[in-house]
Amino acid sequence: MERQSNGRQEVPLTWLREGEVGIVSSIRGGCGRGHRWGFEKRLMDMGLTPGTEILVVRSAPFHGPLEVLVRGTRLALGRGLAEKIFVVKKENV
């Protein structure tokens, strides 16, 4: 799951604990059905562009969605989606 990018460690957003901040490095299109253009575009539209700071506020129980803070907006992201968002943890930057 871990990937190297310019020597920094990229992890899926879901690996961050509550209260941790990451910087979006890339969004990886998933496997499976549907074209990736749709949800990637949607994430971009909501402000999750590469380089954006993202704070994990909390995650819903039962493996539920994440609540994140991006550009001053509180967003709920489904877990499957959050797994496709790769970030670099802030303290490692």
Partner 1 sequence: MSKRTISVALAGNANVGKSVIFNHLTGLHQHIGNWPGKTVEKAEGTLHYKGYTIDIIDLPGIYSLSTYSLEELISRRYIAVEKPDVVVNVVDASVLERNLFFTLQLLELEAPVVMALNQMDIARKKGISIDVKKLEKLLGIPVAPTIAIKGVGLTQLLDKIIEVAEKGQMRRTEIKYGREIEERISKLTEMIKQAKYHYPPRYAAIKLLEGDKEIEEEISKINPKIVSAAKNLAAEIEEIHGHPCPSVIASERYERASCIVREVQKIVPPLKPSTEEKLHDLTTHKVLGYPIMILTLLSIFYTVFIFGGYISELLSDVLYSFKPIINDVFRDGAAGSLIWSIIEGVIAGVTIALPYIAPFYIILYILEDSGYLARIAFLMDTFMHKMGLHGKAFIPIMLSYGCNVPACLGCRIMETERERLLAVFVTTLIPCAARTVIILGLVGQYLGIGWALALYIFDLTVVFLLGRLVFKALPGEPTALIMEMPTYRIPHIKTVLRQTWFRLLEFIKIAFPLIIAGSFLIESIEILGLLDAISAALSPITVAWLGLPAITGISLIFGVLRKELTLIMLSALLGTIDFSSVLTPTQMAVFTIVTMFYIPCISTIAALVKEVGWKNALSITVFEIIFAIVLGGITYRALTLFRWAT
Is 7 a binding residue for partner 1 by CB under 8 A? The answer is no
For position 71 contacting partner 1 by CB under 8 A, the verdict is: yes
CB of 10 to partner 1, least distance (A): 14
Q: Tell me if 37 contacts partner 1 by CB under 8 A.
A: yes
Candidates 54, 81, 87, 88: give the one binding partner 1 (CB under 8 A).
Answer: 81
> What are the CB-based long-range contacts (under 8 Å, 24+) for 54-62?
54/13, 54/21, 54/22, 54/23, 54/24, 54/85, 54/87, 55/19, 55/20, 55/21, 56/13, 56/16, 56/17, 56/18, 56/19, 56/20, 56/21, 56/22, 57/18, 57/19, 58/18, 59/14, 59/18
Residue 47 engages partner 1 in binding (rule: CB under 8 A)? yes
- Provide the binding-site residues for partner 1, judged by CB under 8 A: 26-27, 32-35, 37-47, 49-52, 58, 60-65, 67, 71-81
